[in-house]
Amino acid sequence: MIFRVVEELFFVYALLVVFVYFYQRHLQYFPDKTNPGAPADSNVPEMSVVYVTTSDGVKLLSWFAPPKKKDGKIAVIFHGNAGNIGGRGIKARYFLDRGYGVFLSEYRGFGGNPGNPTEQGLYNDGRAALKWLEEKGYVPGQFVIYGESIGSGVAVQMALETQPRYLILECPFASALEIAKARYSFLPVEFMMHDRYDSVGKIGKVASSLLIVHGDEDPVVPIDSGKRLFEAANHPKEFCSIAGGGHSDLYDHHAGHIIADWLDQQISGEKKHGAATG
């Protein structure tokens, strides 16, 4: 009798493992597949709809506004695993108001775009965004790479490949695998997970000036994961713990001002250094 119960429980567990293995990306990505509408609907009327094509042939809708000065900085924003770029107009607004350009990069499977999100797919999407900017005459030295949540994994990969001067990460993780192992501790996640976003294994090869902002009450990506990523990063770097901040409400806790002020300070120092050495 006991043996049969154990056998049945094992069978149920095996079914669960198989289900999660094949369904795992539905547990990792929650795209809003609808078109985000006009940028003006998201309070960023300066932005225009643009299309980029990835190396694997996916045509993606994104939004772009140039910097007020041709050689000005451009915040390239990679958002999290839910919603679409229409919900990130509030973030773009802080950069636009200070004269920076903004590229709100949309992913495959999000915002009316074709395809389905995967780690390598999102990396291809990020590369396509940066390539599009370069084809428009902008140079990598102008790029401020910004990643939010799972977008922090995309941002770290893009920073590894392009070495921008500035990298901003909002509620980032050390790795997606680490988060999944904590959440699904009853499953052999180490052997199952496809999209791992191993940022902590890459950040030490990135030379960018780094800012991390993280809520100290984040229930999705614990702040300790962001701190581990920070510890593995090179200097110069700054970690800002936002008191009372959760995972998706940091802009309600003045994160926009913190980020924009930090970038202003970095660029001011860059200009002073340039004047001193010039």
Question: Looking only at Cα atoms, what is the longest distance across the chain?
Answer: 84
Q: What tens digit of pLDDT does each residue of 229-255 get?
A: 999 999 999 999 999 999 999 999 999
Q: Please tell me the distance from the alpha carbon of residue 65 to that of residue 75, in angstroms, as a whole number.
A: 10
Residue 100 pLDDT > 80: yes
pLDDT at position 270: 78
Q: Please tell me the distance from the alpha carbon of residue 111 to that of residue 54, in angstroms, as a whole number.
A: 16
pLDDT at position 9: 76
Residue 163 pLDDT > 50: yes
pLDDT at position 275: 47
Q: What tens digit of pLDDT does each residue of 125-139 get?
A: 999 999 999 999 999
Q: What domain count does the chain have?
A: 1
Q: Where are the alpha helices (DSSP H) in the chain?
A: 2-28, 89-96, 119-135, 150-162, 176-183, 189-192, 223-232, 255-277
- What's the burial of 267, exposed, middle or buried (CB within 10 Å: 0-12/13-18/19+)? middle
Q: State mean pLDDT over 163-186.
A: 96
Residue 273 pLDDT > 70: no
Q: State mean pLDDT over 99-108.
A: 98
pLDDT at position 8: 75
Of 8-22, 41-55, 213-227, minimum mean pLDDT range: 8-22
Share of the chain above pLDDT 70, in %: 96
Q: State mean pLDDT over 101-109.
A: 98
The DSSP bridge pattern shows strands 209-215 and 237-242 to be parallel
pLDDT at position 1: 66
Sheet of strand 237-242: strand arrangement: 48-53, 59-65, 101-105, 74-78, 143-148, 166-170, 209-215, 237-242
Q: State mean pLDDT over 210-224.
A: 98
Q: Would you say 47 and 39 are in contact if contact means Cβ atoms under 8 Å apart?
A: yes
pLDDT at position 12: 87
Residue 272 pLDDT > 70: no
pTM (2 d.p.): 0.95
Residue 10 pLDDT > 80: no
**CATH code of the domain containing 52:** 3.40.50.1820
- List own/partner pairs for 11-16 with CB under 8 A and 24 or more apart: 16/187
What's the Cα-to-Cα distance from 227 to each of 40, 58, 153, 257, rounded to whole Å? Answer: 36, 35, 15, 21
- Judged by phi (left if over 0) then psi (alpha if -120 to 50, else beta), residue 76 lies in beta
Q: Would you say 191 and 180 are in contact if contact means Cβ atoms under 8 Å apart?
A: no
Query: Which residues constitute the domain of residue 40?
Result: 2-277
Q: State mean pLDDT over 73-88.
A: 98
Residue 97 pLDDT > 90: yes
Share of the chain above pLDDT 90, in %: 90
Q: Please tell me the distance from the alpha carbon of residue 259 to that of residue 92, in angstroms, as a whole number.
A: 11
Q: What tens digit of pLDDT does each residue of 250-266 get?
A: 999 999 999 999 999 99
Residue 278 pLDDT > 50: no
Q: Which two tokens stand for residue 52?
A: 């980029």
Q: State mean pLDDT over 4-18.
A: 81
